Amino acid sequence: MIKDKREVARRGEAAAIPTAWEYAPAPESREIVHFEDRYGLYIGGQFLEPLSNERYTTIDPAREEPLAEIAQAGKADVDRAVKAAREAYAERWSQLRPSERAKYLFRIARILQERSREFAVVESLNGGKPIRESRDVDLPLAAAHFFYYAGWADKLEYAFPNRTPRPIGVAGQIIPWNFPLLMLAWKIAPALAAGNTVVLKPAETTPLSALLFCDVVRQAELPPGVVNIVTGDGRTGAELVSHPDVDKIAFTGSTEVGKAIQRTLAGSGKRLTLELGGKAANIIFDDAPLDQAVEGIINGIYFNQGHVCCAGSRLFVEESIYETVISKLKRRMKTLRVGDPLDKNTDVGAINSKQQLDKIGSLVQSGIDEGAEIYQPPCKLPERGYWFVPTVFTNVAQSYRIAQEEIFGPVLSVLTFRTPDEAIEKANNTPYGLSAGVWTEKGSRILAMAQKLRAGVVWANTYNRFDPASPFGGYKESGFGREGGRHGLEPYVALDGS
Ligand code: NAI
Ligand code: MG
């Protein structure tokens, strides 16, 4: 810290060192949310006690306080859910006129909008993300996905001209804890629009918004069994993957589990889409608008505590502007407020789980041990809960673990380059290929870079922008298949000749 102040002082900027302003707390009220003490499994339109008789406690990671008892679904429970989904598929959902399916999806979208404050609080309480983000990003985007796919439901033949799209049946969907409701929307909206029914398993640490979503399903009067929610950990996920009567698996999560799922499904004829990890390059050229680029770097890595598969976790700075960018970045980092996710002033909330906090801690330690230089702004952290100070590493070599592995936390590794070709080569030197960012004022350079970067999404002069109309997905170990846009319908339809 002191060392850094001297550095800034040398440049004559000492008087301008910003620190986080002292704001009065502005907590969002949690009164709007009512949790049951314990939840069952949502199967065939009702909450059922788990046949497994197993439960666990879900907590608020910012306070380490219990929120509710959650069912750990076993094999027989998963079987019940798949049967309910199969029956609803055969008897109701696949028989409905597409315009009728659209009506239900529009209803769900509108109810999500109406209840967005309640959902935002649940998402921040159970997941640790700042209320500003759940309110302004997760909820509007989740509703937008339902609106978007509602629009496609009766226009599928235009999405696939001359191909006669048909639904495929029951989809098993497994989602992670970083965007619980948004990932649910990404999975459920296209599946239902195309006429399939679903069994969805939320992540074990963040089941509450999916369980509250069951109430939205009820309010929208969706036929029973079209949406089924089974809670539990990886064992429940594995049961869903290996269930013989599931036609398709959609998974978002770690590359390790994605590979295991692919092995299980090999030769089964079941369809599979995988959205896995990333180690994205955010590339800053010397002609970039630097203040905007610094905002993009901050948003790229500290948004949602860095629990983002497409996070801009490797920063590539053109050598000639390295000093300027790093000093601007450090100054900006000092203004980040870390703390209570329910406080409307908070920029960086709680780490989702103890397990994830330990993983971040050990990778950061490896960075220090391998010889990178660490910087963390001064920061008062709450006494209880899981927290990690926004961190940046400089003097990083390509071979360090912090430049290779997905940290999935608020930790940035900075590297440099001299030419566009070097930037491309270094950026592509990763087993992943989910996303990338390019900052330059030259349009032709943006296009040239975007063509050569092996990444599913390339943002230009912005970062972490999402839109339901835009497909999202990866190359290489980041997975395959696309979610969002017309492309996102494809995994959920059978086409003539497929
Ligand atoms: P994970 O891949 O174990 O969990 C994701 C989901 O898969 C959860 O719902 C989990 O219950 C389920 N699952 C776990 N094992 C399963 C199995 N054998 N079969 C079927 N489903 C299974 O990820 P985890 O352990 O929570 O996080 C570990 C690392 O994975 C993170 O540090 C991060 O690097 C990466 N990750 C990437 C995500 C992304 O968005 N691409 C999301 C979550 C984690
Ligand atoms: Mg895991």
In this prediction, residue 9 has a pLDDT band, given cuts at 50, 70 and 90, of: very low
Tell me which residue has its CA closest to atom 8 in ligand 1: 203
The region that residue 313 occupies, defined by phi over 0 for left and psi between -120 and 50 for alpha, beta otherwise, is alpha
pLDDT of residue 18: 58
Give the 3-state secondary structure of residue 430.
coil
pLDDT of residue 19: 64
pLDDT single digits (tens) 416-426: 999 999 999 99
- Ligand 1 mean position, distance from CA 344 (Å): 29
Q: Is 257 in the pocket of ligand 1 (CB under 6 A)?
A: yes
Give yes or no for residue 76 having a pLDDT over 90.
yes
**Alpha carbon distances (Å) from 20 to 101, 339, 400, 425, 440:** 49, 12, 31, 37, 29
274 lines ligand 1 (CB under 6 A): no
Q: What's 38-276+478-495's CATH class?
A: alpha beta
Spatial neighbors of 383 by CB under 8 A, at least 6 apart, are none
Catalytic position from the list 309, 310, 477, 483:
309
Is 174 a pocket residue for ligand 1 (Cβ < 6 Å)?
yes
pLDDT of residue 322: 98
Find the 211 Cα to ligand 1 centroid distance in Å. 19
Closest Cα partner for 213 from 274, 153, 143, 150?
A: 143
Give per-residue pLDDT as tens, 380-403.
899 999 999 999 999 999 999 999
Q: At what angle do helices 208-219 and 98-114 cross, to 10 degrees?
A: 120
Q: Whose CA is nearest to atom 36 of ligand 1?
A: 254
- How high does pLDDT run on average in the chain? 95
How would residue 11 be classed by pLDDT, with cut points 50, 70 and 90? very low
- The CATH 3.40.309.10 portion of the chain extends over 281-473
> What would the pLDDT profile of 340-352 be if each residue is shown by its tens digit?
999 999 999 999 9
User: 130-162 pLDDT, tens per residue?
Assistant: 999 999 999 999 999 999 999 999 999 999 999
Per-residue model confidence (pLDDT) at position 5: 41
Q: How would residue 189 be classed by pLDDT, with cut points 50, 70 and 90?
A: very high
Contacts by residues 257-260 (CB-CB < 8 Å, ≥ 24 positions apart): 258/479
Q: Which two tokens stand for residue 477?
A: 């170990």
Q: For the segment 194-252, what is each residue's pLDDT rounded down to a tens digit?
A: 999 999 999 999 999 999 999 999 999 999 999 999 999 999 999 999 999 999 999 99
**Average pLDDT of span 409-435:** 97
User: CB atoms < 10 A from the CB of 24, how many?
Assistant: 6
pLDDT digits (tens, 9 = 90+) for 16-53: 455 667 789 999 999 999 999 999 999 999 999 999 99
pTM: 0.95
Indicate whether residue 356 lines ligand 1 (CB < 6 A): yes
Q: Tell the CATH topology of 281-473.
A: Aldehyde Dehydrogenase; Chain A, domain 2 (3.40.309)
Tell me: pLDDT of 411 over 80. Answer: yes
- Out of 201, 242, 254, give the residue to mutate to test ligand 1, the one with the largest number of ligand atoms within 8 Å of its CB: 254
CA distance 26 to 28: 7
CA distances, 401 to each of 240, 249, 259, 305, 427 (Å) = 33, 31, 21, 19, 15
Tell me: pLDDT of 111 over 70.
yes
87 part of the active site: no
Q: Where does CATH 3.40.605.10 sit in the chain?
A: 38-276+478-495
